[in-house]
Structure formats: structure tokens, C-alpha cells
């Protein structure tokens, strides 16, 4: 067996204090490598306006004033991820700083999402890194996702950008020694693009435990009647079609209940629902908690009667889906929300709704169902949920990489 070496993780977000799904996944990848005995250097090329605090020692900012913030001389919104690659790989961009601080010896370059693939290519040109194995961690098929986001934000004339994104993804898939996909559908696309070795590496969850004090505190603050929870980040697909998926109305919640919203999506949900025709009704059914500490979030998740997953599109799979499924509570979600967790759609507490009426009906129905019974130790139901944990899912990764090294790739 090959001895574990050093892995360089490349991303466009720091993972010191993970908030959104991409950060959480990457942190768990890092932990999996570390558990397997690898040394891990994590380097994020981050937008300084988004992540000013809580950055790691290798992380470098992508300045708001950089000339690389323009796409072919044009200012195109919502593509700093795409632009961070050319910045990181450029001599007059981030490359000198990056070369100055990354380890001299790197065995594996793991690029999470395709954005920093140009940097990986640039590093591989250096003799000291030329033999490093490249791993492309695909979280989504990015081009259609970006296309949907552009449509939602009315960003026109961006075909060139979309072509650039697809080209980047294709290059990463084709040239990487190992490509990771989060769903079977994504894996099929990546293989079609010429990826040699594609491994399915679905998202997982961090098991949580709520302490009694936090539970008591939140029991006081939350509705006494069954209520549902929506936990999400401010990633556009989490809110741009939220109202549409719920039929523009939260009347499916009784006046005694609430849709409790947690995470950085909160302010967006308020804005979206406040601009609906039924704003007065909709706001009366919301309880907004914004971003919570881990302790508070654990308590709120433990007390929820159920979760909603109003995810309209996007490749990849959602961490919040895994969390909702793991909870054992009711889950009402769109078909897109269960991407990567198709094997869990038959669970008795899961409701899949492919249109607004069905979504509303499912909410009404689960709110009047008794809480699902606790999962019995040793039961198959519990085992299926244990398999959703990050440890169970990510510990499969290091052996794959070690196997490649053994074979002497590239």
C-alpha cells in the first residue's frame, strides 16, 4: 500500500468556518484525508468581499479591484468563481503568492469544483509538482446551474461565459486522474466528457446532538404546534424559485404553525415572500432565525416536525437533503432536492412533490401526522441513515487516491 503523502486542496472558499454546502463538503474531504494519514494543505482563492474573516493560512484574497474580475473586459455578475481561476494562475495575479506558500512536495492536487483547474494546470507545469495526481471534485454540472442562475437574475448575453464554464468542466473531467461525482447523473455526464475514472462520492452529513439546555430554550421560542424547517445558504437556487415552488402561498401552514427559516437564505426568503401578492399571509407563516450557532442549529433541527427542500434545479446533491433524511423527521422536497439520494425516496417520512399544489398538499398532510417514531438501534432504517454521515461517505476517497498512486498515475 502506498504511504499517504501531501494533498493540496484548491477551492474558491475558505473552510475555517464552513457555512455553505460546498465548504462543509470540502472540510469533510480534508478530514477524510487527514484520518487516512495524509498531510493536507488547503488553499482558497476567495473573494475578499465575501469571506473577509475566518480564512486559513494558505488562503489568498481575490481583490475586488483586480483586473481579473472582468470577463474578456466585460463586467459580468455572478461569475467570480469562474474568474478566480485565471487570477490564481496568472503571474500578475495570485500565482506568486500561491507558489510562495504551498508545500514544496505535493502528491495530490485536489481541485474542488472546476474553478481553480487553471491553477492546477499551472502548478503541474512546475517540475516539482509535475508528478502530482490530480483529483477533480465535481459538486455539480456547473454550466446548466449557472445558466439557471443567469436566467433568474436576468443576466443576458452570457453565452460566452457559459461556453467557458463548460469548456473548463470538460477539461477538468478529461484531464484529471480521478473525478468525483456526487450523483449518478453527474457521473454519467462526466464520463461522457471523457473522464477516465469517475467515482461516486455523494454528500453526507455531520451528525448532530442537541443539548438539553438548547432544546429547552428553543422549545420556548418555537411554535407549540408542529412546524417545518428550511435550512439553507444564500446560494441563489435556494431562494430564487422558492415562492414559485410553494405556489406563492404559505397558506398550507395553519395559523398556529410556522415555516422556520435558518441560515443565510433567511433574508432572501423574507424579501421574496414579502414581494408576493399574498405577502401579509405569507409573512404571518414565517419564523426567521437567520444564522445560528452549531448548538442552536442542532436544537432547532432536533425539534423540527419536518423539513422542506424547495430546490428547483442544479446538479449535484444537497447537503440539506442528507441532513433532513438523517433527522428521521418528515421531509417534503422537489425531485431535484433528492438528486443523489434517490435510494432514500422510498422512506416512509419522505414526500416528493413535483408541483406547487402537491408541495402544499404534502406540507398540510405531514403537519397533521404524528411525529415519526424514533429510529430503533440496529434497525435497517437507522443503518440507512448512518450511511449518510460524512465519515461513512468520505472515507472511501483516500483509498481510491492511494490506489492511483500505487499504479503510478499519471
Give the three cell numbers for residue 39.
Answer: 498531510
CA distance 18 to 401: 24
CA distance 60 to 376: 47
Q: Which is nearer to other proteins, 130 or 290 (CB)?
A: 290
As to burial, measured by CB atoms within 10 angstroms (0-12 exposed, 13-18 middle, 19+ buried), residue 97 is middle
- DSSP character string of 31-65: HHHHHTT-EEEEEEEEETTT--SS--TT-EEE-TT
Q: How far is the CB of 371 from other proteins (least distance, A)?
A: 15
CB 406 within 8 A of CB 1: yes
CA distance 185 to 278: 37
Q: Which is nearer to other proteins, 71 or 278 (CB)?
A: 278
Q: How far is the CB of 120 from other proteins (least distance, A)?
A: 42
Q: Which is nearer to other proteins, 3 or 224 (CB)?
A: 224
Q: How far is the CB of 66 from other proteins (least distance, A)?
A: 30
Q: Which is nearer to other proteins, 253 or 307 (CB)?
A: 253
Q: Which is nearer to other proteins, 193 or 225 (CB)?
A: 225
Q: How far is the CB of 290 from other proteins (least distance, A)?
A: 8
Q: How far is the CB of 200 from other proteins (least distance, A)?
A: 35
How distant, in Å, are the alpha carbons of 32, 48, 206, 285, 334 from that of 55?
Answer: 20, 10, 21, 37, 34
Q: Which residues bind other proteins (CB under 8 A)?
A: 221-225, 227, 246-247, 249-252, 254-258, 267, 270, 277-281, 283-284, 286-290, 356-357, 360-365, 367-368
Q: Which is nearer to other proteins, 153 or 290 (CB)?
A: 290
Q: How far is the CB of 296 from other proteins (least distance, A)?
A: 13
In degrees and rounded to multiples of 5, residue 244 shows phi and psi of -60, -45
Amino acid at each position: 500500500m502506498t504511504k499517504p503523502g501531501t494533498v493540496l486542496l484548491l477551492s474558491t472558499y475558505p473552510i475555517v468556518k464552513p457555512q455553505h454546502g460546498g465548504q462543509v463538503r470540502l472540510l469533510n474531504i480534508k478530514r477524510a484525508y487527514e484520518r487516512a494519514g495524509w498531510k493536507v494543505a488547503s488553499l482558497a482563492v476567495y473573494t475578499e468581499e465575501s469571506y473577509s474573516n475566518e480564512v486559513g493560512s494558505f488562503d489568498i484574497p481575490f481583490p475586488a479591484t483586480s483586473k481579473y474580475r472582468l470577463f474578456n473586459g466585460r463586467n459580468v455578475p455572478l461569475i467570480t468563481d469562474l474568474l478566480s481561476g485565471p487570477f490564481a494562475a496568472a503571474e500578475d495575479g495570485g500565482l506568486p503568492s500561491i507558489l510562495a506558500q504551498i508545500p514544496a512536495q505535493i502528491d495530490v492536487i485536489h481541485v474542488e469544483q472546476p474553478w481553480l483547474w487553471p491553477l492546477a494546470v499551472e502548478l503541474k507545469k512546475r517540475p516539482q509538482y509535475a508528478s502530482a495526481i490530480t483529483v477533480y471534485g465535481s459538486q455539480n454540472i456547473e454550466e446548466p446551474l449557472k445558466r439557471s442562475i443567469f436566467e433568474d437574475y436576468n443576466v443576458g448575453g452570457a453565452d460566452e461565459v457559459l461556453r467557458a464554464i463548460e469548456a473548463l468542466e470538460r477539461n477538468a473531467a478529461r484531464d484529471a486522474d480521478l473525478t468525483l461525482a456526487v450523483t449518478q447523473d453527474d457521473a454519467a455526464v462526466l464520463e461522457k466528457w471523457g473522464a477516465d475514472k469517475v467515482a461516486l462520492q455523494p454528500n453526507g452529513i455531520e451528525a448532530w446532538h442537541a443539548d438539553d439546555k438548547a432544546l429547552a430554550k428553543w422549545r420556548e421560542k418555537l411554535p407549540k404546534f408542529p412546524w417545518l424547517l428550511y435550512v439553507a445558504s444564500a446560494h441563489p437556487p435556494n431562494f430564487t424559485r422558492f415562492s414559485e415552488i410553494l405556489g406563492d402561498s404559505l397558506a398550507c401552514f395553519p395559523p398556529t404553525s410556522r415555516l422556520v427559516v435558518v441560515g443565510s437564505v433567511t433574508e432572501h426568503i423574507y424579501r421574496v415572500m414579502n414581494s408576493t401578492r399574498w405577502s401579509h399571509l405569507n409573512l404571518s407563516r414565517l419564523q426567521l432565525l437567520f444564522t445560528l450557532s452549531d448548538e442552536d442549529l442542532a436544537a432547532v433541527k432536533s425539534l423540527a416536525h419536518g423539513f422542506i427542500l424547495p430546490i428547483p434545479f442544479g446538479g449535484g446533491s444537497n447537503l440539506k437533503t442528507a441532513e433532513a433524511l438523517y433527522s428521521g423527521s418528515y421531509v417534503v422536497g422537489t425531485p431535484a432536492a433528492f438528486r443523489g439520494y434517490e435510494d432514500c425516496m422510498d422512506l416512509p417520512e419522505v414526500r416528493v412533490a413535483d408541483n406547487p399544489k402537491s408541495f402544499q398538499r404534502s406540507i398540510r398532510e405531514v403537519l397533521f401526522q404524528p411525529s415519526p417514531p424514533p429510529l430503533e438501534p440496529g434497525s435497517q432504517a437507522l443503518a440507512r441513515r448512518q450511511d449518510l454521515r460524512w465519515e461513512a461517505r468520505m472515507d472511501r476517497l483516500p483509498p481510491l487516491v492511494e490506489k492511483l498512486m500505487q499504479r503510478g498515475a499519471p
